[in-house]
Every structure is written in C-alpha cells, then in structure tokens.
A and B are shown apart, each in its own frame.
Chain A
C-alpha cells in the first residue's frame, strides 16, 4: 500500500471526490476553511461544481437543490455556520435528501474562538433543527478516516436517503498524517425514482417536506423513525482498544480518542487495566457495544471536549450511574496527564 502526507481538511476533499461528489457549496470559517479552499482548487479540475455561497444558509440550500436533482453534494463548516445550516438540515431530513456535511468543530458558544472543541455534539447528534429527525453522524479520529468516513458518509446518505454528517474538530482538520488514497473512484448514477433532474424521466417527481394533513405527516414521521431504527440496527460502528479485560473504560471519539488511547497505554504501563471504547458512529450511538463492559461493572470515563454531552448518551446506553467525565473547554485539549489523574483516582 502506498500513501502520502496530507492534512485532515484536504483528506475530506480527496474522500469526497473519489466518492463521486459532484458539487461543493461553502462559506469560509476557521477551522474548516481549508476544505473550501481545496474544493475551489480541485473540483473545477474534474469538471465538478464549486461555488462560494453568500452564507451558510444559502450554502445548505444550494446543497438541498443539487441533492434534489440527485447529485452527490458536500458542504463543510464549523459551529456558528452549522447553527445557521440547521434549518436547511431539517428540510433535507424531512424531504429525505442525501448529502454530506462536514463539521470541523470549534470552541463556543457564540463566536467562541477558533480552537478545537467537541461542543457541537448535541446539535449534530440530537438533530439541532426542528422536527423529529436524525442525521447519520460519523466521527473520524485520523486523517485517514477524514477521507474514508467522508466516502462512507456518501454511501450511507444515499443508501438511506438521509443527510450524513462527518463530525470532526479543529485538530483533525489541521493535522497532517499519511493518507492511503482511495483505490476506487465512484461514478455515481442518478436515482430517477425520486430525483428531480429536469428531464422526462423525472418530470413526475416532487421533492417536498410539507404534509398538510396531520395523519399523513404522522405517517411520514413514523416512516422516518423506522428508517432511523434500520440505521441503528445496521450501521453502528465502533472500535475497541484493550477493553477485553479492562476495569476502566474510556469512551471517546474524534481527536480526544487519540489522547485517550495514549492514556490507556500509559495506564497499562502502570499496571492499571484501562481500555478505550471509541464510537465511530455517534448516530447511531453504539449502545450495544457498551453493554458488555457495563455488564462487567466497569467504570466509564467520558473523554470529550464538551460539557458531558456524550456522557449523557453513555449513561443512557449503560444504565450505569458510574460514568465519570474528563473534559476541557475553550480550545484546550485534554492532556494525557489529566486523564491519568482520573484513572489513578478510580483505580
């Protein structure tokens, strides 16, 4: 296998283009801007469509338009921009349009700063916009996964006709690591059963999310919930590291999971049985995977750069009161020694 050193934000564009992504609509925001830059450079070289929109709202609605016509579309932003996109994401989910949105999370609330945080967890994983909907949420933790999970997000988005989000953070956007380039390039086909592409085949189709009749809208909602149940059943992904015999299980995603992994190694060197459980899908949250360590009465530590947003999900999944939290805010990363302090305290 061969590879090259690449930055995380660049890997997103590489993954998207090999996945047959046809359009990119973006608006500048640190720390996601390099995705926009790379798209502006590379999309036109392959006849793909790039446009810098006037706002994140416009960008997500351009995504909605291009997705309506059946194309593979990508948008990328960070916290404040994602907040603006939420209305559009709700419409995309309601109209069952596939697309991929990358959130390179920065520190909030408000303008916050451009440092890394994971505080968009709730607004991404729990919906964020109005209505009963879920997006599929994938959480990379390396440059390789920035590429691979962007590709996978397209597959899932189209398999389920649902928006998929790649939830990253400022570190993953800027880190440079080896990237194995995709071995295949997807040549996407328009699904004429639902797309509205401006031709005879698709003239009878309509993309909408309005259902005036209460019962009809209820049926639509029930159908969406069934779809989410299918996604829960089939698409959950996670990675375990030294959890087999662990007494303390760190649960962490994204860049924090890399730091947690280092802490696990350190703990093992000190003779403490620690392990790492890393959700790769945040929706669906890997509840079943957590049940095993929960049954062994392990102590969990949620390791996240947010205020216990994922800790809540771990509690729900394990029904376990003993879920500790190690976190940081404001652009600060969790340090291995912060984690070790907690691990030693528990052990």
Chain B
C-alpha cells in the first residue's frame, strides 16, 4: 500500500472528494498503483447509477485492502468483521427488503475465514450480490498465502512456492458454488486488461440487475491484480492473470438463471398489539387473575418423578395450572439434567400464599413417585411429616420414619381404562385427594382441560381417571 496519486473519480457513483479518507490527496485512493480494487469500485459505482438504484445500495466493506470501500463509493456503507460479510449482508437484507446489498470480499476473507458464511448464504439464495476479489494473495496483511494461491506460487508464507502436499490446492469458488441449487448468477471475470474489464463491467451490472429485481444470490469472481504483494510490474501482472490465473481459474459464465427466477418478497413486520395478543392467545379465557398474598396459606413443595414418557412433567404442569387457577403463587421447574436422556425425569412444583423464593424443591412435602428408582432416590429427601404417593407396582419399600406413604394402583387403573399413557392423571387424582395441598377440587379438573386435552371426549375420560385416582387413594389411606 505504498503512497500513490492514483485517481479514482469523476463519476456520480463515487464521491467527488474522499473526505472520509482525509489527508492532502483528497481525490486519490489508498490503493497501490496497479491494484484491481479501484477498478472494481468504479464498475460497481457505474452499475448502481446506470440502474438507478444508488440510494438503495449498501456496500459491505470487508476486512482486507477494501476495508475502506466506504471512502469512495457513494452509497450506504457497513463495515464487516473478517469473513463475516455475507452473514452481515444476510442480516441487512432480511431486515430491509428494499435494500440492495453488495458484499465485497477478498480471497482470504471469502474463501478462507468466511468460507462457511459464503456457502451458507449462497445455499440460502440470499438477496445479495457478492464481488469476490481473487488476487491469489492476502494483500492487506503483507502478502501471505491465500486459499487461491496457485501451485508453485511464492508468497511470504509459501516462500518455496505453494506445495499441495503441505497446503492443498487452490480453491475454485465459482465451481464450488455451482454445485448449489439456489444461486441465480455465477460468473468469473478478470480485470487484467481493457477487453477483460469490459466483460467484467457486464457481469457486475447483471449482478446488480438481479438485486434490483429481488431475485437472489449473484456471485461474481474477479481475477484481480495485486502488483505490490505479488511483486510484479504492470506487464508481468497482466501476463500472470491472463496466462497463469486463467488457466487455474477459467473465465466463464457458470449460470444465469435470472429469467427463470421469481422475485423473493419478504413480509412487512406487523407491530400491532392486537396481532401480538392474538398470536400469543392472550384472550379472556387463557388469562387469569393474579395470585394474592395470603400468609395463612402454607407453602408446599411437591416433587414428581418417574420414567420419561410417564407424563411426569405434564402432571407437574397440571398441578401448577391448578394452583394458578386457584390464585396461588406457583412455580414449576423441570430437572432437565443428564437424567432426562437416561430415561427418568422429575419436576418441582412450589405452591405458596406469598411470592416464591427458590423454585427448586430439595425437601418435598409431597413426593409423587411413578416408579421404584424415583422412590428410592427421593424418599430420603422428603421433609419430616411429609407424604409419599407411589404407584403400587414399586414393590415393598421401607419408608423413612415420620413419613406417610400411600400406594395407588395407577398403572393398573390407567391400563384397565384403556389409556396406559394416562397414569399421570390417575396420580393427579390421588394427589388431589390426599395431598393436603389446600386447592379446590374443581381446579384439578379445570387444569386437566388446560394441560391435557382440549377435546371434550378426552376430558370426560380424564375426569373419570381423576376420580378413580382419588378413590383409590382414599381407600388406600383407610386400609
């Protein structure tokens, strides 16, 4: 990036003076003599103006020599992190459907650190035009090897020439992206000399037309001179591109599917409260009056545990809903730790007459154990004077002193009723009957409706299961 007086200007797509750059040479660029970036800037500026879309254009400056593209091109500008330009472009394009987003990137930026973002944006068919400056080298950082460096080409970090055994082969971005379905336009052009620049001008314009029409992803790879990093004079540079680079990276229109592509329109955002209330189901029937302070109501911690699939978590939710409908303070917390994968699960429900501190129940007042492992694990943690409700199938178990235990044939009842998956409803019935939680009976059947089944035929079955659970618990207590 030696000091230079190269002038780029005299076009309405470019600023008259480069005041963002500052300095004395206010109409000169920061680019080295013979650099391709300035030429490409001008081609983009020309296309913007010619298509009448200048106001809509947002040019992304990459990390690389073109990091200051915003000094020159007269449009909106966003500077992006190294390699992330197409993710940034995606964000802008999704948010501003009317914007024409132009991602401008070097080979290190696009094909090395940003390769994933490149492929993914292309694969999604984002509405962006990508200008990929392939100069076979990292310019800005002083001439290191790039993913596009030719075999045998010497750079600072491949002093003996790129050796494919050590560093692999040059990446062909057009060919790579040409394997994807979504891109609309892919072309490789060159800036080596005037005839090539004419063809490049055409490609740049097509890419912008596709953006103007909102059709999707356009990718233009530009073989570009970097005489400074490659240590070549103008003639050698021209020959290098025309003979060596073109051999590795043939110039070609890979695809132009714009005629067969429909414009993509993104919806307008709706910010109205009515819409939000509607989509979140914020209706009279789903909303409840809030809990009220009632210090006479004793706080209760309930733990419900069993195998995954037994409906442990939804039983907890039903209980929480029931407490909530009764205007008690309530919290439900699923233990989502490693055991969830191992097939057992549990949740904590706290019900209180005042705001709830810890939502985690370490010492339950009531433990509902659906299976033996849960009983064995949690029975020792039950609070003194507490209650255990378990399925009759758990077998004999010595209950800790000072704790009551009630076995309910929940599995049996649910199976008899033809709904073996509804053990949890039977258990809820048992809890309602003997749990001593101080919640009204109607609240339980109301909660069934909320949590389990909004279909009336299931509701009546669930009510029956609830009653059978209650009855079984009553009988079990008296025996």
Residues of A within 8 A of B (CB): 1-5, 14, 17-18, 20, 22-23, 25, 30-31, 42, 44-49, 51, 53-55, 57-59, 61-69, 71, 73, 87-88, 91, 95, 113-115, 170-171, 174-178, 180-181, 184-188, 196-200, 202-203, 205-210, 255, 258-263, 265, 331, 333, 335-337
Binding site for A on B (CB under 8 A): 20, 54-58, 61, 67-68, 70, 74-81, 84, 87-96, 98-101, 116-117, 120, 266-273, 275-277, 279-280, 282, 286-291, 317, 320-321, 324, 329-334, 336-338, 356-360, 362
Inter-chain contacts of B271 with A (CB < 8 A): 20, 46, 185-188
Q: Are A62 and B94 in contact (CB under 8 A)?
A: yes
Q: Which residue of A lies closest to B451 (CB)?
A: A5
Q: Is the CB of B321 within 8 A of A207?
A: no
Task: Compute how far the CA of A114 lies from the CA of B70 in the bound complex, rounded to whole angstroms.
Answer: 43
Asked if A67 and B91 sit within 8 Å, CB to CB, the answer is yes
Which of B92, B282, B357, B359 makes the CB contact (< 8 A) with A68?
B92
Q: Are A69 and B116 in contact, with the CB atoms below 8 A?
A: no
Q: Which of B291, B317, B336, B357 lies at the interface centre, i.e. has the most chain A CB atoms within 10 A of its CB? A: B357
Whether B77 pairs with A205 at a CB distance below 8 angstroms is yes
| Neighbour of A198 across the interface among B90, B101, B120, B277, CB < 8 A | B101
Can you sample 10 A-B contacts with CB below 8 Å?
A: A1-B289, A5-B332, A51-B90, A58-B120, A65-B93, A178-B291, A198-B76, A199-B56, A210-B67, A258-B359
Q: Which of A45, A209, A258 contacts B357 (CB 8 A)?
A: A258
Q: Which 4 A-B pairs have the closest CB atoms?
A: A65-B91, A198-B99, A262-B357, A62-B91
Residue of A nearest to B88 (CB): A65
A42 to B270 Cα, complex, angstroms? 12
- Within the complex, which residue of A73, A184, A205, A255 is in contact with B76, where a contact is CB–CB below 8 Å? A205
Contacts of A115 in B (CB 8 A): 337-338
Tell me, rounded to whole Å, the shortest Cβ–Cβ distance linking A123 to chain B: 18
**A2 to B75 Cα, complex, angstroms:** 49
**A22 to B94 Cα, complex, angstroms:** 10
Chain B minimum-CB-distance residue to A173 = B336
Across the interface, A203 reaches (CB within 8 A) one of B75, B80, B93, namely B75
State in angstroms the CA–CA spacing of A1 and B267 once bound together: 34
Contact A18 to B270, CB < 8 A, known contacts A55-B116, A196-B58, A259-B358: no
B88 x A5 contact (CB < 8 A): no
Q: In the complex the two chains form, what is the Cα distance from A197 to B356 in whole Å?
A: 46
Given A44-B267, A180-B290, A203-B75: 8 more A-B contacts, CB < 8 Å: A2-B289, A3-B287, A3-B288, A25-B91, A49-B94, A64-B81, A202-B76, A207-B79
- Chain A residues whose CB sits within 8 angstroms of the CB of B67 once the complex forms: 210
Q: Which of A14, A44, A51, A64 has the most CB of B within 10 A?
A: A64
